[in-house]
């Protein structure tokens, strides 16, 4: 799916891909511990009916459903550091003559 935006720099195409079932379930597992709530959240991410997602989740092997992302607990009073790197654009600048 793509959508075209009109900006002051011209038209820009934006690509939107819905997540895969595995990606949606991993994200839902991070938001809830209940399986029914996870299925509802994943269905919302994928824009699919809940029944369709439920049948696919129940068909999946148990190991795929049990996969979780583990984050070490932070120490009390210590803030986490987040590093954001900016990738410079490769825009060519005109040189002064």
Residue 50: pLDDT band with limits 50, 70, 90: very high
Q: How far apart are the first and last CA of the chain?
A: 45
Determine the pLDDT at residue 18.
79
Taking CA atoms, 27 is separated from 22, 58, 89, in Å, by: 9, 17, 31
For 9-46, the pLDDT digits (tens) are 999 888 777 788 888 888 888 888 888 999 999 999 88
- In this prediction the pTM is 0.52
Q: How far apart are CA 37 and CA 30, in angstroms?
A: 11
Determine the pLDDT at residue 14.
81
Position of tokens 């600048």?
A: 93
Residue 85: pLDDT band with limits 50, 70, 90: low
């Amino acid at each position: 799916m793509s959508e075209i935006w009109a900006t002051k720099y011209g038209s820009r195409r934006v690509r939107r891909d819905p997540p895969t079932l595995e990606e949606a379930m991993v994200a839902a597992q991070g938001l809830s511990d209940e399986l029914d709530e996870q299925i509802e959240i994943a269905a919302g991410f994928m824009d699919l009916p809940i029944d369709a997602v439920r049948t696919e989740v129940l068909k999946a092997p148990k190991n795929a459903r049990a996969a979780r992302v583990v984050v070490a607990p932070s120490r009390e009073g210590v803030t986490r550091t987040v590093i954001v790197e900016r990738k410079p654009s490769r825009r060519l600048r005109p040189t002064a003559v």
